């Protein structure tokens, strides 16, 4: 079956979830435009390229489809997931990757925009941030859940919420809380469970790690150098220093004393013997084999355990210290089985690179960051359609047995010409006349 016929089948598959036959043309046209090699993939340039003879009318139709039409993002994402998952080969290893991505913005009216950390810029700046859950295997990956993070100032501002069309049921939630809810919904949809991977922005949250464990999944998550653990051979004191006299509240909480305290993972790493460290390679890079120096030890997380009466279970602390660095660079906590090998833990932890590749391709090739509207619905509709376009081409490559680890060398797509009399909005040639 050729690509065009397969694409039409894919669009028909997704259209069944739009609940309105008239929306089929919008879905097909917008996804087609997102897959064309355009420099800008917002509504107007897409309309001008996919229907150059009726660019103005198509622009209005696509704008309504993306910004106002009441179709379900979760339903379309489920359709994308159902199409791609059979080609992912999850039997050989399944990973749930949590991450967020930022979109630099000017002004203060775009939904969710605030001064916050933006990963794309690597610093605090005015931006929007969205949290996502990707399903990944060794062969490929695809985002299956996506939601805008709404800062507290936005969540409590009724006027701005109304102007941006934020649904009433959306309340303030931290990024880890959004991620946990995405995972619960994914489990409810009977998606195969996997090892949860996340960076330190999520892994440092004890409630996030506990939530994953309660769902019955393993995790391998980043933590910060200052995170404290109980080193091997140490633990909080379970009993009070003196016998209970028999009156008052019986002491039940764990205790810490001078000389018996948890340590920061950085301090623990620096104190490890040289023989603890080993070179491990995890996959082939674009130019050479990727490898680094690692150590792993059994520890107990120590975050506020003095408020409880039971010690936390032991976990693995995985540490990366490249030979050319003066100190360790990355730390991870993982609930991998006690008999897991260092090589296995390194391989699983490094699978997070898949989400970085997803975001790179979604932003560069599928217009994820090109939405120009300001409202909640449009932001999510545009992202859903970008992921839908990406999902189709990912499935095509997986079915063809192509390598998805490098740049996506998809089939060349021809760009229709724009009529000479087409004048984009904002162009000086389209300026209002003056009296």
Task: Provide the residue range defining the domain that includes 136.
Answer: 3-205+355-399
Same domain? For 102 and 172 the reply is yes
pLDDT at 2: 85
Q: Per the structure block, which two tokens stand in for 118?
A: 């933006």
Reported as a single tens digit per residue, the pLDDT across 69-115 is 999 999 999 999 999 999 999 988 999 999 999 999 988 889 999 99
Between residues 283 and 429, the one the model is more confident about? 283
Residue 388: inside a domain: yes
Residue 72: predicted pLDDT? 97
Q: Which of 327, 346, 378 is the last residue of a domain?
A: 327
- The pLDDT-based confidence of 215 (bands split at 50, 70, 90) is very high
Q: What is the pLDDT of residues 298-337, one digit of tens each?
A: 999 987 665 555 778 899 999 999 999 999 999 999 999 9
Domain assignment of residue 417, yes or no: no
Taking a C-beta distance cutoff of 8 angstroms, is the pair 272, 297 a contact?
yes
287 shares its domain with 198: no
Cα(228)–Cα(223) distance, rounded to whole angstroms? Answer: 10
- How large is the average pLDDT for residues 56-69? 95
Tokens of 181: 């809810």
User: Looking at residue 408, what is its pLDDT?
Assistant: 45
Neighbours of 150 (CB within 10 A): 24
Same-domain pairing of 191 and 145: yes
Q: Tell me, what's the pLDDT at 63?
A: 95
Phi, psi torsion values for 283, nearest 5 degrees: -170, 170
Residue 317 covered by a domain: yes
Within a domain: residue 217? no
285 pLDDT higher than 80: no
Q: What is the pTM of this model?
A: 0.88
Helix (H) or strand (E) segment spanning residue 320 = strand 315-320
For residues 241 and 251, the answer to whether their CB atoms sit within 8 Å is: no
Identify whether 424 is part of a domain: no
Q: Is 333 part of a structural domain of the chain?
A: no
314 in the same domain as 173? no
Identify whether residues 235 and 319 lie together within a single domain: yes
- Give 135's Cβ-side CA count (13 Å radius): 27
Whether 421 maps to a domain, the answer reads no
What distance in Å separates the CA atoms of residue 127 and residue 108, rounded to the nearest whole number?
Answer: 9
Number of domains comprising the chain: 2
């Amino acid at each position: 079956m050729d690509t065009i016929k397969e694409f039409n089948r894919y669009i028909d598959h997704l259209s069944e979830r739009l609940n309105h036959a008239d929306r089929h043309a919008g879905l097909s046209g917008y996804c087609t435009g997102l897959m064309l090699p355009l420099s800008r993939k917002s509504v107007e340039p897409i309309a001008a390229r996919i229907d150059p003879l009726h660019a103005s009318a198509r622009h209005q139709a696509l704008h309504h489809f993306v910004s106002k039409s009441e179709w379900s993002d979760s339903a379309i994402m489920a359709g994308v997931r159902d199409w791609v998952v059979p080609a992912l080969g999850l039997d050989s290893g399944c990973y749930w990757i949590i991450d967020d991505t930022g979109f630099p913005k000017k002004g203060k009216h775009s939904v969710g925009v605030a001064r916050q950390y933006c990963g794309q810029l690597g610093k605090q700046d005015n931006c929007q941030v969205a949290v996502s859950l990707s399903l990944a295997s060794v062969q490929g990956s695809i985002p299956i859940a996506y939601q805008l993070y709404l800062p507290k100032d936005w969540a409590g501002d009724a006027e701005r919420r109304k102007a941006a069309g934020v649904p009433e049921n959306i309340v303030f939630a931290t990024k880890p809380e959004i991620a946990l809810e995405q995972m619960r919904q994914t489990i409810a949809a009977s998606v195969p469970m996997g090892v949860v991977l996340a960076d330190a922005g999520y892994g440092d949250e004890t409630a996030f790690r506990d939530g994953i464990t309660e769902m019955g999944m393993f995790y391998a998550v980043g933590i910060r150098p200052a995170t404290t653990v109980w080193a091997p051979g140490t633990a909080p004191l379970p009993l009070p220093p003196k016998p209970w006299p028999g009156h008052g509240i019986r002491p039940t909480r764990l205790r810490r004393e001078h000389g018996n305290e948890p340590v920061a993972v950085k301090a623990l790493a620096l104190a490890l013997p040289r023989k603890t460290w080993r070179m491990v390679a995890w996959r082939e890079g674009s130019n050479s084999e990727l490898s680094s120096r690692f150590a792993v030890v059994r520890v107990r997380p120590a975050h506020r355990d003095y408020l409880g009466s039971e010690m936390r279970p032991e976990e693995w602390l995985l540490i990366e210290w490249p030979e050319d660095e003066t100190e360790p660079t990355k730390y991870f906590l993982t609930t991998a089985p006690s008999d897991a090998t260092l090589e296995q833990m390194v391989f699983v932890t490094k699978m997070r690179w898949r989400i970085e590749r997803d975001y790179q391709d979604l932003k560069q090739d599928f217009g994820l960051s090109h939405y120009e509207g300001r409202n909640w619905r449009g932001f999510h509709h545009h992202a859903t359609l970008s992921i839908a376009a990406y999902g189709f081409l990912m499935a095509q490559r997986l079915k063809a047995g192509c390598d998805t680890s490098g740049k996506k060398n998809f089939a060349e797509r021809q760009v229709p010409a724009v009529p000479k009399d087409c004048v984009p909005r904002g162009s000086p040639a389209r300026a209002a006349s003056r009296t």
